[in-house]
């Protein structure tokens, strides 16, 4: 299939499609009934979908040891292509002991069959090294490291096929796959598309960043992550509602596409910024917004580490252009949203609230300052947070 004129090539050149449909799927379902069953972790559920729909092109399965080692040590696949995050299928000792290389297995989420895989390799994870290199820490206070240390120490590598999409997939109407977004961008006549990754509501600062970027491209792909996140992040359904509210009133409909990014959050900071950019290239985006402390958590990464890591790659081999943004905020003296790069004033003039302050205000039923968040968004967030804060049921 030829690509539309002007569209950006997927990472590695080919958009991967490992979703079985029709008669092939029926046949695979029948065969899978006799395969040994392997439980997917929550992250592997996300990863299987991302691989299958081509968001992780050129990956066609969970990584073998050669790719795993290269990604950890060199931020590249074994074929030399940039790739910064291991995409692996962890299993515990007991499951690993029952499996041989070359065997076909069924991949399950609970009792729900999602896919099949041919086990090409079974190998041991090097968790300490993975944590140190990928997350830059071995402290299990880091949510990504904690998850890594919790999971089984064996990894299964091999090609996958998805037979059923994730059960209870949220926001089906926004779950555009890379092949679809590429078609949608082409249909809109957009040649240059900027993607915005987020796991937060859109406050004025984010709106400023998105619109500044949109000034120099044709379309904005607002692509919030809805895979597994930390428990204290704002729930995805509330965020989606807040995105809809702000898009309806403040964005030009013909220049924005809202879609959800079903990936699980790693909180791997700089490495995840590259990973997020490559995935958005697969969705057909040409530009990617990287804010301060992108995909960071706590104080594990320097404010601009996620910008600097792009210098470690040749721009051509990444193939998507990062747009770097500084710390942004409303400045009373400037009379608008500005950034640390463009405002000469001092902190006393800036309207800034921490994530904790935002949460506390909303839980008290207080609107956020209009300079910080548009009232339409405040309202949705407040209602969402209050609705989820029903008093706990008694245990008995
Ligand atoms: Zn100022």
**What distance in Å separates the CA atoms of residue 248 and residue 386, rounded to the nearest whole number?**
23
* Residue 203 alpha carbon to ligand 1 centre in Å: 18
pLDDT score for 392:
53
**Structure-derived torsion over alpha carbons of residues 351, 196, 50, 95, reported in degrees to the nearest 10:** -20
- Is 60:10 a contact under the CB 8 Å cutoff? no
* Residue 337 alpha carbon to ligand 1 centre in Å: 8
Paired tokens of 363: 């839980």
pLDDT score for 340:
92
**What distance in Å separates the CA atoms of residue 320 and residue 12, rounded to the nearest whole number?**
12
- Is 266:227 a contact under the CB 8 Å cutoff? no
* Residue 345 alpha carbon to ligand 1 centre in Å: 4
Strands 104-109 and 89-91: unpaired
90 C-beta neighbours (distance < 10 Å), count: 22
* Residue found under tokens 């039923």: 365
* Residue 344 alpha carbon to ligand 1 centre in Å: 5
- Is 182:4 a contact under the CB 8 Å cutoff? yes
220 C-beta neighbours (distance < 10 Å), count: 25
Of the candidates 359, 144, 370, which has an alpha carbon nearest to the alpha carbon of residue 235? Answer: 359
The residues assigned a catalytic role are: 199-200
Kindly provide the b/e burial profile for residues 351-368, where b requires at least 16 CB atoms within 10 angstroms of the residue's own CB: bbbeeeebeebbeeeeeb
* Residue 10 alpha carbon to ligand 1 centre in Å: 40
pLDDT by residue, tens only, the chain of 396 residues: 444 445 899 999 999 999 999 999 999 999 999 999 999 999 999 999 999 999 999 999 999 999 999 999 999 999 999 999 999 999 999 999 999 999 999 999 999 999 999 999 999 999 999 999 999 999 999 999 999 999 999 999 999 999 999 998 889 999 999 999 999 999 999 999 999 998 888 999 999 999 999 999 999 999 998 877 677 778 888 999 999 999 999 999 999 999 999 999 999 999 999 999 999 999 999 999 998 888 888 889 998 999 999 999 999 999 999 999 999 999 999 999 999 999 999 999 999 898 889 989 998 999 999 999 999 999 999 999 888 776 555 444
- List the beta bridge partners of residue 197: 223
**What distance in Å separates the CA atoms of residue 329 and residue 351, rounded to the nearest whole number?**
6
- Is 55:282 a contact under the CB 8 Å cutoff? yes
The CA–CA distances, whole Å, from 310 to 92, 286, 297, 339 equal: 35, 15, 19, 21
Backbone angles phi and psi of 214, in degrees to 5: -60, -25
- Residues near ion ligand 1 (CB < 5 Å) are 331, 333-334, 343, 345
**What distance in Å separates the CA atoms of residue 341 and residue 324, rounded to the nearest whole number?**
11
**What distance in Å separates the CA atoms of residue 281 and residue 392, rounded to the nearest whole number?**
43
């Amino acid at each position: 299939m030829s690509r539309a004129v002007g569209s950006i090539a997927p990472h590695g050149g080919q958009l991967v499609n490992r979703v079985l449909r029709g008669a092939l799927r029926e046949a695979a379902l029948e065969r899978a009934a006799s395969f040994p069953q392997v439980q997917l972790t929550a992250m592997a559920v996300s990863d299987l979908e991302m691989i299958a729909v081509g968001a992780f092109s050129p990956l066609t399965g969970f990584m073998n040891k050669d790719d795993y080692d290269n990604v950890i040590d060199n931020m590249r696949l074994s074929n030399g292509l940039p790739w910064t995050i291991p995409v692996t299928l962890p299993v515990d000792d007991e499951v690993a002991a029952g499996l041989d290389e070359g065997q076909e297995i069924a991949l399950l989420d609970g009792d729900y069959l999602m896919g099949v895989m041919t086990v090409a390799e079974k190998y041991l994870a090097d968790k300490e090294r993975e944590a140190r290199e990928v997350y830059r820490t071995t402290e299990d206070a880091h949510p990504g490291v904690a998850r890594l240390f919790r999971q089984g120490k064996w990894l299964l590598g091999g090609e996958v096929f998805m037979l059923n999409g994730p059960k209870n997939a949220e926001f089906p109407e926004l779950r555009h796959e890379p092949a679809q977004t590429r078609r949608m961008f082409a249909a809109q006549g957009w040649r240059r598309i900027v993607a915005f990754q987020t796991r937060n509501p859109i406050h004025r600062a984010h709106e400023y960043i998105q619109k500044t970027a949109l000034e120099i491209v044709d379309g904005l792909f607002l692509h919030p992550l809805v895979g597994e996140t930390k428990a204290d992040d704002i729930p995805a359904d509330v965020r989606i509602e807040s995105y809809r509210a702000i898009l309806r009133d403040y964005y030009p409909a013909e220049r924005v596409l809202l879609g959800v990014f079903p990936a699980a959050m790693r909180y791997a900071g700089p490495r995840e910024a590259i990973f997020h950019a490559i995935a958005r290239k697969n969705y057909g985006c040409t530009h990617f917004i990287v804010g301060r402390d992108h995909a960071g958590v706590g104080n594990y990464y320097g404010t601009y580490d996620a910008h600097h890591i792009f210098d470690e790659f040749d721009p051509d081999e990444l193939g998507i252009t990062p747009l770097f943004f500084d710390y942004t905020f409303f400045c009373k003296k400037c009379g608008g949203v500005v950034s640390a790069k463009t405002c000469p004033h001092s902190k006393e003039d800036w309207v800034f609230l921490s994530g904790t302050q935002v949460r506390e205000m909303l839980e008290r039923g207080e609107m956020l300052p209009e300079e910080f968040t548009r009232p339409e968004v405040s309202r949705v967030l407040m209602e969402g947070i209050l609705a989820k804060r029903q008093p706990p049921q008694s245990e008995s």
